[in-house]
Structure 1
Amino acid sequence: MRGPFARALTGALGLVTAVAGVVAGAAPAAADSVVVGGSPAAITEAPWVVALSSRDRFGGTRAGQFCGGVVVAPTKVLTAAHCLGREVLGGQPWQLRDFSVIAGRASLRGQGGQEVRIADTWVNPDYDPTTNSGDLAVLTLAESLPESFVIKVAARGDAAENPGTAAEVYGWGDTSGNGSYASSLRSAHVQVLPDAACERAYPDGFGGVSYRKETMLCAGDPRGGRDACQGDSGGPLVARGVLVGLVSWGSGCGQAENPGVYTRVSTVLPERL
């Protein structure tokens, strides 16, 4: 079994092989075919999904995409804190001259949509790269996106977080767990799982990380085959029309015994952005 993976691309040629404090071999999470086990998704049905991009850092083949994000206000995008780490970016976010989000575009090599520069970044001060707890960052855009791109964030204790709730995870990441990356947006049907499922899969001491229900949410398919994967980090987990999680980490992709772990946005996101 592979060690815990933070689910983001790093460097121009490969995957993150270690997240600070996480065992070597850990890689960013990816969802089914977009996400593992997923299918093509129309951006018109999920306009709040964006791709984080830097062609200078990651090359132009995939328009510089390395993580996902989600629009929660016209100038605010949520993503995973580990997507902004030195291991991924090779430095500080402000050092990427072309750091931007690609919005309103399903195909990374397609036309349309907007590429909006990132003016500022905020990383959750409670983020712990050793445990992956609090894995959330906020990007402030230099220009506003349409209100129609915004998705509502689940409130603390929202029924959308209840185990058994149907959910969708979105991204442009590895579709197989073997490095087959999607060039167009994909989504996968999963469900919110009981905290106990991830507590069993990731007990204390598991490669230096463990599941913490206060700041994490467990989701996947009890039978396996559907999950987020490398390249999907920071992308949204949506249930009942609201944002409940951000792709954060996991072991492997689409394994029934190792569900995906998401940042529980309702408890980690500050009340005021």
Structure 2
Amino acid sequence: MRRTFARALALAATAAVIPLASPAPATAGVVIGGYPVDIAEAPWMVALSSRDRFGGTRAGQFCGGVAIGRETVLTAAHCLGEEVLGAPPRKVRDLRIVAGRGDLRADGGKEIAVRDIWINPRHDAYTNAGDFAVLTLSEPLDAGSVIRPAGAGDAAYKPGTGAVVYGWGDTTGNGDYASSLRASHVRVLSDAVCEEAYPGSADGTYLAGSMLCAGETGGGRDACQGDSGGPLVAQGRLIGLVSWGSGCGRVGSPGVYTRASGVATALGAGR
């Protein structure tokens, strides 16, 4: 079972500050059911990194993030909780993002320190509502490394729309973490399907309006542990952040995402 996609990484880190389980994306996924993708195809995709907490083999990656401004990265609020980091986020001195690097074992791209952290104060760890945070970078990304969130009512949110989720997370559901960026094709599912899958339990509660879910009716394509905070993209726009679900790629248990339009609304109202 999985409550949030970063939890398994926290458990790995508490055992010792050593690299997480191995590379080799997919078989069933990007994440689950996925394929390799060049970072040039997703320049707004970044890795959240702390070598102090998660070791150096995969550049300290523990969650994903997405650049919506040259100095602004969105990620999941639960990625920055003490349950994952083992300490308050502002005490993780080497917290940074890795941009422009698809293979975490390679050089290239940029590693940029995080200058400021804002975690949504309305994040509810029980229902998983409001699962987003904002990282302000110490230096700007390249101008082309930004994606626009889809606004409320955008056609990209329509059920049945094809979307792509990206990440360096578990590719099988068994702790096989990717070193190279992966992507997986999924479909946006209706609120009715999502509410039926998650009516309220220890896994969480699906809340239409602030969440959306995506996957395939037969399972097999999904995000998984380590993909938290990464982007779900449809029609060239950001529609969601990887948040939570039950298992990885299970029939009847689609992945749940923080809806990007809700994040944009909350940020527009002021932090």
Q: Given the two structures, how large is their TM-score scaled by the length of structure 2?
A: 0.91
Say whether 1:138 aligns with 2:137: no
SS in 2 for 1:190: strand
> Residue 93 of structure 1 aligns with which residue?
89
> Residue 5 of structure 1 aligns with which residue?
3
| Distance in structure 1 (CA, Å) of the matches to 2:121 and 2:154 | 24
| Distance in structure 2 (CA, Å) of the matches to 1:147 and 1:258 | 37
- Root-mean-square deviation (Å): 1.8
Give unpaired runs (5+ residues) of structure 1: 17-29
Q: Contact 1:12 / 1:59 at 8 angstroms: preserved in 2?
A: no
Equivalent position to 1:215, from 210, 215, 220:
210
Q: Give the letter aligned to residue 13 of structure 1.
A: A
Say whether 1:121 aligns with 2:120: no
SS in 2 for 1:36: coil
> Residue 63 of structure 2 aligns with which residue?
67
Q: Give the letter aligned to residue 196 of structure 1.
A: A
In 2 relative to 1, CA 259–37 (structure 1 residues): closer, same or farther, beyond 3 Å? same
> Residue 19 of structure 2 aligns with which residue?
none
Alpha-carbon shift at residue 92 of structure 1 (Å): 1.3
| Distance in structure 2 (CA, Å) of the matches to 1:142 and 1:209 | 34
In 2 relative to 1, CA 12–131 (structure 1 residues): closer, same or farther, beyond 3 Å? closer
Say whether 1:247 aligns with 2:242: yes
| Distance in structure 2 (CA, Å) of the matches to 1:251 and 1:235 | 17
Q: Contact 2:184 / 2:221 at 8 angstroms: preserved in 1?
A: yes
> Residue 146 of structure 2 aligns with which residue?
150
| Distance in structure 1 (CA, Å) of the matches to 2:10 and 2:184 | 26
SS in 2 for 1:191: strand
> Residue 162 of structure 1 aligns with which residue?
158
| Distance in structure 2 (CA, Å) of the matches to 1:256 and 1:11 | 26
Structure 1 residue runs of 4 or more that deviate by more than 6 Å after TM superposition? none
Q: Give the letter aligned to residue 50 of structure 2.
A: S
> Residue 190 of structure 1 aligns with which residue?
186
Equivalent position to 1:238, from 233, 236, 247:
233
Alpha-carbon shift at residue 111 of structure 1 (Å): 1.3
> Residue 199 of structure 1 aligns with which residue?
195
Q: Contact 1:33 / 1:173 at 8 angstroms: preserved in 2?
A: no
SS in 2 for 1:268: helix
Alpha-carbon shift at residue 251 of structure 1 (Å): 0.3
Alpha-carbon shift at residue 14 of structure 1 (Å): 5.2
| Distance in structure 2 (CA, Å) of the matches to 1:189 and 1:138 | 26
Aligned length: 257
Alpha-carbon shift at residue 196 of structure 1 (Å): 1.1
Say whether 1:260 aligns with 2:255: yes
SS in 2 for 1:67: strand
Tell me the alpha carbon deviations over residues 226-251 of structure 1, each in whole angstroms, 9 at most, x when there is no partner: 00000000000000000000000000
Alpha-carbon shift at residue 11 of structure 1 (Å): 3.6
| Distance in structure 2 (CA, Å) of the matches to 1:45 and 1:86 | 33
| Distance in structure 2 (CA, Å) of the matches to 1:12 and 1:55 | 15
- Greater share of strand: 1
Equivalent position to 1:111, from 91, 107, 114:
107
SS in 2 for 1:82: helix
| Distance in structure 1 (CA, Å) of the matches to 2:252 and 2:30 | 20
| Distance in structure 2 (CA, Å) of the matches to 1:33 and 1:253 | 9
Alpha-carbon shift at residue 208 of structure 1 (Å): 5.9
Tell me the alpha carbon deviations over residues 4-49 of structure 1, each in whole angstroms, 9 at most, x when there is no partner: 4200153472599xxxxxxxxxxxxx99632100000110010000
Q: Contact 2:29 / 2:220 at 8 angstroms: preserved in 1?
A: no
Q: Give the letter aligned to residue 97 of structure 1.
A: R
Tell me the alpha carbon deviations over residues 111-136 of structure 1, each in whole angstroms, 9 at most, x when there is no partner: 11000000100011211111100100
Q: Contact 1:10 / 1:87 at 8 angstroms: preserved in 2?
A: no
Say whether 1:178 aligns with 2:167: no
| Distance in structure 1 (CA, Å) of the matches to 2:30 and 2:177 | 7
Q: Contact 2:13 / 2:54 at 8 angstroms: preserved in 1?
A: no
